Amino acid sequence: MATARRHSYPSPLDGGDAAAASDRWDRHDWWGVVLDAPDVAVLAKFYSELRGWAVYHQDDDDASLDLGEGVAYLSNQRNEDYVRPVWPARQPAPINLGFAGQCISLGRRAGIFQFAYKDDTAKRFYLGDRPGAKLKEFVCKHTVTQLADEARKPGSRTWAKDDKRQQLLQAKRGEAADA
């Protein structure tokens, strides 16, 4: 297990008194994640060694790790019925992922949105100043929504293929020239 990191306050892990320590230990708004495990000690040791976090509390039923700062924690609790997740036997379908462009934020009032092809090569078109910043904000807000939609209903999000669009545009241009 990792040893406690040296903090600017005397944590109980360093032999200090929690009540006399920094106001961090006096706060009542702690939040964290609690994981189930069949063996509390094994999981606590795993995260302690992986992240370098000290084990703050451990007994047969649960364990808590001190993340070293703030009011967050990671705990695990014993659950004899815990079943580890199993990956599907078949290979998942490949993700068809593309990027519409790249953003540079220059504050809330100015930005640059450089449009891109599906392979992430830049197009000649970009939006700058306030319109660029507004488009960047729109993309940031809706990315999470789109990911949640895809998680809820896999395959619901599609990406327009550049090659078909190009063919359609060329065909339309040909029709317009013939008319």
- Domain limits for position 39: 12-78
Q: What is the number of domains present in the chain?
A: 2
Long-range contacts of 62-71 (CB under 8 A, 24+ apart): 64/32, 66/4, 66/11, 66/13, 68/5, 68/7, 69/7, 69/24, 70/24, 71/24, 71/27, 71/29, 71/30, 71/31
Asked if residue 171 and residue 105 are part of one domain, the reply reads yes
Asked if residue 110 and residue 72 are part of one domain, the reply reads no
In order along its 179 residues, the chain shows pLDDT tens digits of 443 333 333 445 555 554 444 567 777 777 888 999 999 999 999 999 998 988 988 999 999 998 887 788 889 999 999 988 887 777 766 665 666 777 777 777 888 888 888 777 888 888 888 888 888 888 878 878 877 877 777 666 666 555 565 566 677 767 666 65
